[in-house]
Amino acid sequence: MWITCPRCGGRPVEEYRFGGEVRGAAAWITDAALRDVDYVWMYDNIEGVTTERWFHGAGCRRWLTIRRDTTTDTIVA
């Protein structure tokens, strides 16, 4: 899989580190500690298009937000 960095251009996925899905915190969990654990460690792992954060560690060292189709591993936007 290749990710297009706005600064560096198209680069292989090995140059990046996965930062997680972009999502809001679960408002229905009232215990703050449990809510934080859910937010940090529990991913939705949906099948289809999802919004994710990636860190370009081997390049410009910037964070990117991309939309990726998880069924085909193609970058949508």
pLDDT in tens, the chain (77 residues): 899 999 999 999 999 999 888 876 556 666 777 777 777 777 777 788 989 999 999 999 999 999 999 899 888 88
Pairing of strands 17-21, 74-75: unpaired
First-to-last alpha carbon distance for the chain, in angstroms, is: 14
Burial of 6 (0-12, 13-18, 19+ CB in 10 A): exposed
Taking alpha carbons only, the member of 74, 54, 49 closest to residue 65 is 54
Residues 2-75, CATH architecture: 2-Layer Sandwich (3.30)
Q: Report domain extents, the chain.
A: 2-75
